[in-house]
């Protein structure tokens, strides 16, 4: 009897240790320049034990009422994050934390986007037939407008509950089945991911699945994400998406990645080493090089993907008193700022400062040229900059308004999120919503039709110059041949005349 109870308890414990948590979606390398058709959507979750080969992922088309099952997947990748091992030689930090991270990669062998871009998915345990779900994802495609959520600086909702209103708002969006193509997270999770023996980060994973199980979560690195050894171990293992291996070194891992969603090219970069003046391995020039190469390709592809949005954790212009970065980031990040101007980046998103702030187009600490009529901004020579760092955090002072500055158009310290809607190739709509009352407190349009018409005009002018050049070349060749043909005729006539005289 006792033996049977022990077996039952052991089985129950194993079942709990193999219960998926922290379910989250990411965009795969189909959306990066690699265009990998077998890595479109990634479904990721954690377990406390390895639980090897235990799970099945069922995918169902979401259009028909019958929910026709189209694919069952049994293969997934498993990674152990052993924080105990990582810090075993660290003299100041000791961890006893392990978690297993499982990844299903959904490709075109599993779904057919010609039939549907909307799917339900369920995670099933082969051991006890427990089911987790159904959840839902949409494959972002370019046929219609794109809609993107953006927010950052958000705690794990378990100490002072500062982020509760944002969690509630996001949960309500999921319940109403609102469609967003992705979430751009501007950095700083949980405060901090590795706090309390990584339980803060573990709790963050469990809580965010409320919305990350529905919307792909593409996160930027924040300074509160980098861990006790400043290497982002917890972040990289749980949120490391779209690695580009050709740039990886011992001291550089995924500090830059880019991807396309419909009509937008997104770029994420992590300049933490330069803004904190701690770059002993000179990584920053590598990121600048990567940024330039990426922007060159993005501009060559602008006819197909017209918008470029850069997001990171660090603002270039802000006004926190006596804050070195708010004073000097325009100097620290000047190499990047030059690229944004050269390649006509449209929008620059950041967090770090716990507020909502929209800036005028600014460059080299001065107002850049732009036109604005009502809420429509056009002819901008530098991207509009927006700080989305007001998702709610129990770190630091709350609901603080910062000093005004010439570059600030509007700021609001209430908890909120941004919504980007790409209407078409020339018009982008941005709104900031305060989550406590679902009120839109700021709304602008970006109009890049002038760039498109300029591009077309320049293309037309280039074409005309090419045609004009060809006409001149053809005319020159024609004249050349006529002259030389005349000389040959004259020479023949002279030859005949001389012959006749001699004879």
Angle at Cα 315 formed by Cα 221 and Cα 373, nearest 5°?
A: 130
**Measured in whole angstroms, how far is the alpha carbon of residue 136 from the centre of its chain?**
20
By DSSP bridging, strand 189-190 and strand 21-27 are unpaired
Q: CA 406 → CA 140, 361, 471, distances in Å?
A: 38, 11, 53
Q: What is the pLDDT of residues 424-450, one digit of tens each?
A: 999 999 999 999 999 999 999 999 998
> What does the pLDDT read at residue 159?
79
Domains defined for the chain, CATH in brackets: 27-139 (2.60.40), 143-447 (3.60.21.10)
Instruction: Report residue 35 as tokens.
Output: 């265009």
Angle at Cα 291 formed by Cα 287 and Cα 293, nearest 5°?
A: 115
> What does the pLDDT read at residue 501?
29
Q: What is the pLDDT of residues 292-339, one digit of tens each?
A: 999 999 999 999 999 999 999 999 999 999 999 999 999 999 999 999
Q: CA 187 → CA 10, 259, 383, distances in Å?
A: 39, 18, 20
The number of beta carbons lying within 10 Å of the beta carbon of residue 110 is: 18
- Cis link prior to 128 (omega < 30° from 0)? no
Instruction: HSE, CB side, 13 Å, CA atoms: give it for residue 391.
Output: 30
Q: Where are the alpha helices (DSSP H) in 317-448?
A: 324-332, 334-342
Dist. CA 101–CA 141, nearest whole Å: 28
Q: Where are the alpha helices (DSSP H) in 258-358?
A: 272-275, 284-300, 324-332, 334-342
**Measured in whole angstroms, how far is the alpha carbon of residue 269 from the centre of its chain?**
9
In this structure, what is the dihedral angle of CA atoms 328, 331, 337, 338, given to the nearest 10 degrees? 160
The answer for 257, left when phi > 0, alpha when psi is -120 to 50, beta otherwise, is beta
Looking at residue 369, the DSSP 8-state letter turns out to be P
Note whether 223 and 323 are within 8 A (CB): no
Q: 484 - beta bridge partners?
A: none
**Measured in whole angstroms, how far is the alpha carbon of residue 480 from the centre of its chain?**
58
Note whether 272 and 226 are within 8 A (CB): yes
By DSSP bridging, strand 366-367 and strand 427-434 are unpaired
Residue 168 host element (H or E):
helix 164-175
Q: At what angle do helices 334-342 and 284-300 cross, to 10 degrees?
A: 10
Instruction: Report residue 67 as tokens.
Output: 């929910």
Q: Is 96 helix (H, G, I), strand (E, B) or coil?
A: coil
Backbone angles phi, psi at 200, to 5 degrees: -65, -45
- Cis link prior to 134 (omega < 30° from 0)? yes
Note whether 322 and 329 are within 8 A (CB): no
Sheet containing 98-106: give its strands across.
21-27, 41-47, 98-106, 77-82
Looking at residue 374, the DSSP 8-state letter turns out to be T
Among 408, 336, 341, 346, smallest CA distance to 368 is for: 341
Q: 357 - beta bridge partners?
A: 387, 411
Note whether 133 and 118 are within 8 A (CB): no
**Measured in whole angstroms, how far is the alpha carbon of residue 335 from the centre of its chain?**
20
Instruction: Report residue 401 as tokens.
Output: 């308004």
Dist. CA 162–CA 179, nearest whole Å: 26
Note whether 306 and 345 are within 8 A (CB): no
> What does the pLDDT read at residue 209?
98
Question: Which mean pLDDT values do the consecutive 10-residue runs of the chain (503 residues) have?
Answer: 44 75 97 94 98 95 68 95 95 93 96 90 95 96 88 90 96 97 98 95 97 98 94 93 70 86 97 95 92 96 97 98 97 98 98 97 91 97 96 89 96 97 97 98 96 52 44 49 46 33 27
Whole-model pTM: value is 0.88
Q: Is 448 helix (H, G, I), strand (E, B) or coil?
A: coil
Instruction: Report residue 399 as tokens.
Output: 């609901």
Note whether 140 and 261 are within 8 A (CB): yes
């Amino acid at each position: 009897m006792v033996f049977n109870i022990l077996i039952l308890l052991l089985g129950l414990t194993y079942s709990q240790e193999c219960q998926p948590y922290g379910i989250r979606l990411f965009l795969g390398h189909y959306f990066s320049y690699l265009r990998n058709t077998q890595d479109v959507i990634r479904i990721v979750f954690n377990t406390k034990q390895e639980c090897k080969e235990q799970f099945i992922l069922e995918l169902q088309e979401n259009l028909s009422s019958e929910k026709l099952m189209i694919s069952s997947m049994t293969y997934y990748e498993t990674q152990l994050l052993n924080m105990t091992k990582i810090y075993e030689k660290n003299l100041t930090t000791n961890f006893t934390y392990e978690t297993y991270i499982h990844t299903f990669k959904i490709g075109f062998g599993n779904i057919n986007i010609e039939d549907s871009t909307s799917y339900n998915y369920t995670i099933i345990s082969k051991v006890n037939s427990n089911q987790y779900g159904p959840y839902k994802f949409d494959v972002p495609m370019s046929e219609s407008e794109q809609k993107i959520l953006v927010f950052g600086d958000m705690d794990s909702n378990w100490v002072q509950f500062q982020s509760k209103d944002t969690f509630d708002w996001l949960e309500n969006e999921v319940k109403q089945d609102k469609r967003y193509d992705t979430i751009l997270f501007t950095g700083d999770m949980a405060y901090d991911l590795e706090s309390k023996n990584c339980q803060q980060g573990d709790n963050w994973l469990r809580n965010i699945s409320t919305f990350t199980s529905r919307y792909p979560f593409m996160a930027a690195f924040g300074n509160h994400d980098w861990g006790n050894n400043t290497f982002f171990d917890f972040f990289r293992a749980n949120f490391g998406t779209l690695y580009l291996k050709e740039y990886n070194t011992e001291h550089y891992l995924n500090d830059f990645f880019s991807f396309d969603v419909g009509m937008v090219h997104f770029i994420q970069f992590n300049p933490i080493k330069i803004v904190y003046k701690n770059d002993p391995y000179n990584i920053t020039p590598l990121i600048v090089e990567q940024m330039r190469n990426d922007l060159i390709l993005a501009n060559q592809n602008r006819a197909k993907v017209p918008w470029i949005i850069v997001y990171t954790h660090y603002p270039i212009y802000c006004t926190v008193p006596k804050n070195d970065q708010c004073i000097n980031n325009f100097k620290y990040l000047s190499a990047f700022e030059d690229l944004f101007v050269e390649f006509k980046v449209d929008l620059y998103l950041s967090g770090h400062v716990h507020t909502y702030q929209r800036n005028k187009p600014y460059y080299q600490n001065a107002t850049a040229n732009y036109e604005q009529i009502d809420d429509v901004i056009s002819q901008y020579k530098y991207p509009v900059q927006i700080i989305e760092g007001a998702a709610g955090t129990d770190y630091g002072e709350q609901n603080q308004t910062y000093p005004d500055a010439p570059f600030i158009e509007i700021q609001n310290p209430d908890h909120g999120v941004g919504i980007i809607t790409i209407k078409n190739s020339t018009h982008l709509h941005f709104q900031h919503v305060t989550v406590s009352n679902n009120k839109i407190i700021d709304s602008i349009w970006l109009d890049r039709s002038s760039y498109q018409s300029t591009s077309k005009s320049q293309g037309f002018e280039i074409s005309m110059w090419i045609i004009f050049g060809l006409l001149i070349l053809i005319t020159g060749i024609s004249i050349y041949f006529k002259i030389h043909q005349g000389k040959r005729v004259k020479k023949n006539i002279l030859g005949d005349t001389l012959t006749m005289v001699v004879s």
